Amino acid sequence: MWWMMNEGGGHYCSKKSDDICGDVCGQESSRLSMSRIRCILRGIDFKTYIFVFVMIPTCIFGIYLHGQKISYFLRPLWESPPKPFHDIPHYYHENVSMETLCKLHGWGIREFPRRVYDAVLFSNEVDILTLRWQELYPYITQFVLLESNSTFTGIPKPMVFASNRDQFKFVEPRLTYGTIGGRFKKGENPFVEEALQRVALDQLLKIAGITDDDLLIMSDVDEIPSRHTINLLRWCDDIPQVLHLQLKNYLYSFEFLVDNNSWRASVHRYQTGKTRYAHYRQSDEILADAGWHCSFCFRHISEFIFKMKAYSHNDRVRFSHYLNPKRIQRVICKGADLFDMLPEEYTFKEIIGKMGPIPHSYSAVHLPSFLLENADKYKFLLPGNCMRESG
């Protein structure tokens, strides 16, 4: 026969064995495993070594650095888009009567306007709050503001509004201001603290005197309804019980228009025991072109750093160099993303279409009137003024 067992009854050895593995034959079984490993390693070429010891670690490091981007890019594969809103066309011209405007929307006209309450949670956005309240001032019955000594992420913070209250004397007769102590639970989901503060804002609204069928604006400080939108809703009858507002979505200033799809702001006809202050979708109805959302629109670099660490999505600060002031300034002027993220969209077409820096816009038409009237003071919000103060 062409093969045989060895004398000790161990493994067999083919006479056709090649030279590389020839030393395996005839060895004791206890040494066989290591011999096979040496045999395998001797049989691997140089390119395979490069792949195993260079390419694989490089791929793992790449996933560590860009895993979030990969996840966002593949989002259309694992998450379906939300149900589309029912868009309500928005009609407005300063020379058209309110009765005609209400009729164009399919609504009636009231004998007298509703009362309007504007309620916000405040962190540190002094400039944007000024812009918001000046825009809404003619039509707001009561401004309601709640401030905490803690961020949503459990970081202690100064009472910024209390320290700057003198700047808001123009609303003082109509201001209901409240404070809430933080729990300072670091590591807890930030949305828990945010939800608790919104519950406290419900109580503050009752103190402010809100009653049934009053209008309640629910939005973050930087989500600013236009003045004429609120005037329309307070005068028109039969408006939806809950109406979301479609806002133009800006980043860093009114130079960088992202899209027209900010939708979280809403207006409610208040119902005792039913209306709860929230910042998520509560209706399928949305009114088109109803204002502005200016996200991360700060005067000072330090304010950018504070918000990046303090707001509910602080997990997006994956690397410490994201907080470098020089990097932040470069990102602002470029119109890029502070967190180096891909767009949060639900189709590959939308993701690819929005990749890269936001195009510069040089239009300052249809912006809040107070901003244009005080352009020197708020020039950092206008096109062509991307440089920020370092303080």
| Spatial separation of the C-alpha atoms in residues 12 and 280, rounded to whole Å | 73
List CB contacts of 199: < 8 A, sequence separation 6 or more: 277
Q: Give the pLDDT score at 34.
A: 64
pLDDT in tens, 90-114: 999 999 999 999 999 999 999 999 9
Task: Provide the mean pLDDT of the chain.
Answer: 88
Please indicate, yes or no, if residue 128 is contained in any of the structural domains: yes
List CB contacts of 200: < 8 A, sequence separation 6 or more: 146, 178, 180
Total domains, the chain: 1
Please indicate, yes or no, if residue 367 is contained in any of the structural domains: no
Residue with tokens 């309601």: 144
Q: Give the pLDDT score at 22.
A: 47
pLDDT in tens, 5-16: 444 444 444 444
Domain that holds residue 165: 86-298
Please indicate, yes or no, if residue 378 is contained in any of the structural domains: no
Q: Give the pLDDT score at 12.
A: 45
Please indicate, yes or no, if residue 47 is contained in any of the structural domains: no
Please indicate, yes or no, if residue 236 is contained in any of the structural domains: yes
- Positive or negative CA dihedral for 125, 130, 131, 137? positive
Q: Give the pLDDT score at 75.
A: 82
pLDDT in tens, 255-304: 999 999 999 999 999 999 999 999 999 999 999 999 999 999 999 999 99
Please indicate, yes or no, if residue 108 is contained in any of the structural domains: yes
DSSP H stretches of helix in 51-159: 56-73, 75-78, 98-104, 126-136
Please indicate, yes or no, if residue 215 is contained in any of the structural domains: yes
Q: Are 263 and 246 in contact (CB under 8 A)?
A: yes
Percent share of the chain, pLDDT over 70: 81
| Domain containing residue 209: CATH number | 3.90.550
Please indicate, yes or no, if residue 62 is contained in any of the structural domains: no
CA-only gyration radius of the chain, Å: 31
